Amino acid sequence: MKTNIYTRITCTMLLAIVIIPGLSSAQSLWTDRMHASSVTLEWLKPNFEGEGEYSFGTSTTFLTGRFATKGGRVSIITDLPYTVLGYTTHELAGSFPNYTTVEKTKTEGTIGNPYFGIESLGKDSAFLFEFGTRLPVTPDDNEAIFSGVLTDWIERMEAFITDAIPVQLGFNYLKQNPGGFILRTRLGMNGWIPTGDRDDGEFMMMYGMQFGYASDEIQVLTGFGGRLILTEEDLDFSERTFHQLGIAANARVGRFTPGLSMRVPLDEDLSEVLNYVFGVTLGVGLN
């Protein structure tokens, strides 16, 4: 049992830190955007393979601020991530032939890399521009980063990556018809500036599409997100791409916007470790 969980953690570290860099998205596509200015608390609970070995507290939290400037077309976006990994191992103790099994529990938590960026919506336009970066403050000797990396693998894995500064440029198309049907597409580029022990930079493309229904009181969305690695020479196309399906619902109750979400990985490498991620959010409008 101990060998299995340590093997998964080690493989995750190698996959996430050495081979595959992440996207530098700010606010998740699946959370509250029903207020121009808001503060949102997002709690993400992953369901890992071998779930009985992980504590209920194993999760990742994002505290996100969205602050619209005068005129409302430019917003300042910040987030502060935190992740916890708790797991149980069973080890043999004693000497032959009187072995006994000892259960040990370990829990670690760590702050992630905070995000700072802007979003700009063109005047009388459906196009939204994004630009931002993260400060590399996550310690590289804390096992909890593996929970953070896996929990939001497609959109914000870089919130817990070490030794790199991601810089993101993204474009979104937002369209809602009078009947409430809403469509959003995203296309962006992400460059990594190496720091510390990382020698090489990375370059990736990010993309996604959502559709659903939105009104002043409720929003229901479904869609997919993905990433394409552009800089690794030894990967074939299937190894360069990662995707997930998602569904989310938010309701507006006065200044508050509670919400639920579910995300499912579509790629074999990731789904061997992660079954799904369940999310609970609460946004508070500031305007």
Amino acid (1-letter code) at residue 7: T
Q: Which residues, 6+ apart, have CB-to-CB distance to 233 below 8 Å?
A: none
Measured between alpha carbons, how far is 130 from 119 in angstroms, rounded to an integer?
5
Are 44 and 112 in contact by the 8 Å Cβ rule? The answer is no
CATH of the domain at 32: 2.40.160.40
- Extract the tokens encoding 207: 């993309």
Measured between alpha carbons, how far is 145 from 12 in angstroms, rounded to an integer?
10
Residue in 12, 47, 261, 25 with CA at minimum distance from that of residue 145: 12
pTM of the entire predicted model: 0.84
Cα 271 to chain centroid distance, Å, stands at: 15
Measured between alpha carbons, how far is 85 from 149 in angstroms, rounded to an integer?
11
Q: Which domain holds residue 116?
A: 2-285
| Secondary element (H or E) of residue 237 | helix 237-240
Residue 186 pLDDT more than 70? yes
pLDDT, tens digit (0-9, with 9 covering 90-100), for 32-82: 565 678 999 999 999 988 656 888 899 999 999 999 988 778 999 999 999
> How many structural domains comprise the chain?
1
The mean pLDDT value for 116-120 works out to: 93
